Chains A and B, each alone.
Chain A
């Protein structure tokens, strides 16, 4: 039983790990911290996997656990943002696969997101991932109206950083 559950978890997590990597890239600014947060999220997802019931998609459930870990459980400070560290965020991005402008845009986007606070990061991340407001408000535990208000503010702030 335990073995089956574990195998299912490993396959589910492996298939959806890109979500976790994106969250790590948003909330950390160097490779060590990225791996550290990734590890903590893996632990939390596995520890709570028994409580995951199939009534929602695994990925939806994982968004919540991963974001909660990044916002509330992860201890390391992310206040120090070094420019070269932002560049190392792109170490994983293979430039050959897509055209220059998108690569530059993506770099700028990550750099801008790093300047948002933890809550704004979560809002923008969920927006970029095309999550509906219902899911956003349920994940963060705020009302639908407030999710919209906060989202608009976060978007405005992001736009100002991207295009001052």
Chain B
């Protein structure tokens, strides 16, 4: 270690910071607003819950309810909504608890893991949402096809199903891309660092 020893000596002899902060400056800094990644994950996570749940307000629910009733799906929608809100509450509580558990006092590895777990909760919620949406679309389509097969005719039915499928895949694709960009931007550094730190320890 001869080479590094010399540099270490230079490191030790380096002068103290020239522009040291006074206690007043430190006071001001300590009371300013954090811009940490954890805060961003919390804000974006909450936004995701809010946005996914307010989307339905923009739809004409009365009209779609009528149509669902006409299809004989009201009972299914009732149970479905009930389960949906229970699961939503579960995810929200889990997200909040995970967020609260993040502590900068933990060791680096545990800290990074907790941040990634918090983000994963939201990811699972989004996947859950996508699956539920897909399920509804599929069930409504099947019921419609069964009910109106004679009226619409088989050729049109195939066309409608195809259009629905394309729309579904397109929506999911856009959502996926959005997530890749958003979290890729936010968490790339953290993911790399976590892998780097965990690399050897998984074997031991």
Contact = CB atoms under 8 A, between A and B. Distances in A.
Given A44-B104, A92-B18, A71 B200 contact: no
A17 B21 contact: yes
A119 B7 contact: no
Interface residues of B, number: 55
B189 A42 contact: no
B32 A163 contact: no
Given A68-B104, A69-B104, A140-B197, A17 B17 contact: yes
A122 to B, nearest CB: 7
Contacts of A158: 4
A113 B174 CA distance: 40
A65 B105 contact: yes
A72 B190 contact: yes
Given A92-B19, A142-B201, A14 B196 contact: no
Contact of B30 (A43, A108, A142, A146): A43
A141 interface: yes
Interface in B30-51: 30-38, 40
Contacts of A71: 108, 112, 193
Interface string B92-121: 000000000001111111111001000000
B87 interface: no
Interface of A is mostly: helix
Those 3 A-B pairs whose CB atoms lie nearest each other, nearest first = A141-B109, A141-B107, A46-B30
Interface of A: 6, 9-11, 13-14, 17-18, 21, 36, 38-40, 42-48, 51, 61, 64-65, 67-69, 71-75, 77, 92-94, 97-98, 102-103, 105-106, 108-109, 117-119, 122, 127-128, 138-143, 145-146, 149-150, 155, 158-159, 162-163
Interface of B: 1, 3-4, 6-23, 26-27, 29-38, 40, 103-112, 115, 186, 189-190, 192-193, 196-197, 200-201, 204
